[in-house]
Amino acid sequence: MVLGVVGATGRDSGGFVTSPTSSLRSVGYAITTQEMTVRADQPSLPHRLLGDVEVKVTPTGGKAVFVGLARTALVNRYLGDARVSVLQRFNRGHAEYTLQGTRSLTVRPGGLPIWTEHAVARARTRSLVWGVRKGRWSVVLMNADASPGIRADAAVGAELPALPWVVAGLIVLGVLVGGVPLVLILVPSRMVAHERRTPWVVPTR
């Protein structure tokens, strides 16, 4: 899942350090991340270190695609037992999923009030921008009309305002954000001695 070590350069025109583009495919109704837990004793710490995170999605299957970020409990309530693909890892650049659930999903995601951030990409790339904060989060990628069979390309970036002075300890990890690799940062413990040793946790199963 390690995509690479972040250097002092490599920012895009928007100021984000961005991952390579990943091709995401699913026969189900949604692609989701495993639960992502962001922990910090000081609520502002994750955003001070990461800044904003940007998720870029481009439809490749001829349908508009929706990407949204919400509290995991709300995502689970919405998806229920629908057939979804949960991203587990990237193996030689290919996404590997666990398919779960058996039911169909008919409620379109765009009209729901559960999303902290969301975007819809129709014919071109669109971006979701999230100011990282503590909590349990999931990212969901779907067809905007809630139909099965998802095809999209995605890339993720983070502003990393602390990058110039922590570059040696930054590693970019790819985890699914609704089928999108999310940029998370492992920071040397000496930098956050006044915080918990692990400010945020990525599932490793």
Tens digits of per-residue pLDDT, 61-109? Answer: 999 999 999 999 999 999 999 999 998 877 776 788 999 999 999 999 9
Other beta carbons within 10 angstroms of residue 151's beta carbon come to 16
DSSP 24-75: EEESSSEEEPPPEEE--SSTTHHHHHH-EEEEEEEE-SSS-EEEEEEEHHHH
Measured CA to CA, the distance from residue 116 to residue 74 in angstroms comes to 11
Residues of the domain holding 188: 2-201
Structural domain total, the chain: 1
Give the pLDDT confidence of 110-125 residue by residue, as tens digits.
Answer: 999 999 999 999 989 9
- Half-sphere exposure of residue 65, counting CA atoms within 13 Å on the CB side? 34
| Closest C-alpha among 8, 110, 6, 120 to residue 55 | 120
Indicate the pTM of the whole model. Answer: 0.75
Q: Give me the sign of the Cα torsion angle 155, 46, 175, 102.
A: negative
**R_g of the chain computed on alpha carbons:** 16
- C-alpha separations of 67 from 24, 49, 197 in Å: 12, 24, 31
Kindly state the greatest CA–CA separation across the chain: 49
